[in-house]
Structure formats: C-alpha cells, structure tokens
C-alpha cells in the first residue's frame, strides 16, 4: 500500500515531442505528489508538485495531470529538449509530520536531437 508504481522505465523521445511518464499509488492518505528530476552526479531536484484538490498543474513546459478516483498521476513534458534528458521520479507524501516521501523507481528519459 506504500508503493508508487512508475512507468515506463525508460523513454526515448525526439526533440520537440511530448514525453509522458505515468505513476499510480494505492494509499489514499497520500496528499502531496511531487516530481523530481535527477541528472548524473546530482541529487534529485524538485520539478513540479500537485495536491489532490486540483486535476492539473502547469509550469512552463511541464504539466502534472492528476486523477484522484483512479489514483494515478502523470508528468507531461511538452516540446521535449535534449537538456531534458535525465531520470524522472514521481513521489507521494502522506499528511502526517515526518512522513517519508515514497518514490517511484524512476524513468530515464532520452531526448534525441
């Protein structure tokens, strides 16, 4: 019940295309869903996050879509660029202080030029 399932494991997209990464969760106590971007040799960096009271959040080329009834959320990267090539992690956080951030296994995105 604590798992966050992420797919696909890897993704190759052409420059200018749309990258879509999907995540699913079971625990209804989760109420904060961030996405992190990680480059080799660096720690994960917060990209965008959403709470269950909204169905979509957009920041620049990055959009989170959230389906509370299906317990699924996804990251869309519009106009994908070679600089977006990185590993992306979805995550979920519960609503109690000190709760652990539960991560998906990650998606390695390669954007070809």
Partner 1 sequence: KAGVTQTPRYLIKTRGQQVTLSCSPISGHRSVSWYQQTPGQGLQFLFEYFSETQRNKGNFPGRFSGRQFSNSRSEMNVSTLELGDSALYLCASSLDGLNSPLHFGNGTRLTVT
Q: Is the dihedral of CA 2, 99, 70, 85 positive or negative?
A: negative
Q: Does 40 bind partner 1 (CB under 8 A)?
A: no
Question: How many CB atoms sit inside 10 A of residue 1's CB?
Answer: 7
Q: Does 45 bind partner 1 (CB under 8 A)?
A: yes
Which of 1, 41, 69, 70 touches partner 1 by CB under 8 A?
Answer: 41
68: tokens are 């509370």
Which of 1, 9, 69, 96 touches partner 1 by CB under 8 A?
Answer: 96
Question: How many CB atoms sit inside 10 A of residue 11's CB?
Answer: 17
* Interaction site with partner 1 (CB under 8 A): 32, 34, 36, 41-46, 49, 89, 95-106
């Amino acid at each position: 019940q604590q798992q966050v399932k992420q797919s696909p494991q890897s993704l190759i997209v052409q420059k200018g295309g749309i990258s879509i990464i999907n995540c699913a969760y079971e625990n209804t106590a989760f109420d904060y869903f961030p996405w992190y971007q990680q480059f080799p040799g660096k720690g994960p960096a917060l990209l965008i996050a959403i709470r269950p009271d909204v169905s979509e959040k957009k920041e620049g080329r990055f959009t989170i879509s959230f389906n509370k009834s299906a317990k699924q959320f996804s990251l869309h990267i519009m106009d994908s660029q070679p600089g977006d090539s990185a590993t992306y992690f979805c995550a979920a956080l519960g609503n109690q202080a000190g709760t652990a951030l539960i991560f998906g296994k990650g998606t390695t995105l390669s954007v070809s030029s």
